[in-house]
Structure 1
Amino acid sequence: MDKIVIDPRTELYSTDELWDNFYSKERIVKKVKFSCHLNDKPENSVRIVCISDTHNKLSEIAPFIPPGDILIHAGDFTNFGSIEEIDKFNDDLQKLPHTYKVIIAGNHELGFQDNEDESLRDEIYLNKGTKKGYERLQNCIYLQDKTIEVSDIFKKMFPQIVGQLQ
């Protein structure tokens, strides 16, 4: 691909035009070739899948997400954190087969940070987002200023093994 140089001092393109014409076309999702068959998971093992930066397109990439026991979405699941985007993500997330879904907000989930000083936002982000938008997420583990013990998840998934270790 030829290198695209965008001079920020020019006003030839709006940010929407830049996204539509350049940046969004560079994002390519490809299936990854795994060293083992995805359905061949050893007994008493846990498969963790980590994704991020789906930007309101989880349903489009869902066919490419490998199966697993635990899905971690490491942020930027929306573009601006609107109610519509959060609800769509929540609906799309529920369709994924992973037993546990751990969600972490990214910088695009505007309003998710409880102590955010909105006056520090860039102008294009003012009046966007959903305060406490994380409260709309269902059937997942939302991480914000807290930790979870992976062993708690393992206890639920493999009680017979955890019992042997104690």
Structure 2
Amino acid sequence: MRLLHLSDTHNLHKQLTDLPAADIIIHSGDLSMAGTENEVIDFIEWFGALDYQYKIFIAGNHDFCLDGKAPARIQKFLPENCFYLYASGIEIEGLWFWGIPYFISYELRMEKYLHDLESIPCNTDVLISHRPPLGILDNANNTFFGCPDLLQKVLNIRPHYHLFGHIHDAYGIEKSVYTTFSNAALVDEKYRLLNKPSVFDI
């Protein structure tokens, strides 16, 4: 099965043409810029119409209007092969995908965020988060912006892939013994669409 990973498109999704073929396309957050409902609806219409067998997306810190909304509320607006994950998962052809968003409000509701991290199942094959784990593709201006609790969870459950974005300057792929990490932020720090999505076989 082939995975196509992209992140941090910030309302520039319609400029993406000739996306690579894959079985599943995954967007790991910051699909909008201002976080308005109109922006999110525009993304969902575009994403839902893409010609992929399965589609998965989560929310990032820019996607304000999705904060607190239950996955079921969003899911009813999506095609049957498209899934919005919010501290929730989906099994596809024997593989378990789990999504963890990252909202600004988590800084005020840290207990909620830590609970969401703890909820990640041990059998997760592909972990999708917006924020990176600490020390892995999370460096910008000599500062590490990743999450130490997320790193510990990843080290414990050892997913095959951990897909994220958030830190535009840290775009890239890094591999450990157990996990391949992908920061697929497509824009740079000036919000220019410069990077390419990542493709993986699992």
Q: TM-score, normalised by structure 2?
A: 0.41
Larger Rg: 1
In terms of fraction of residues, the more strand-rich structure is 2
Q: TM-score, normalised by structure 1?
A: 0.49
Higher relative contact order (CA 8 A, sep 6+): 2
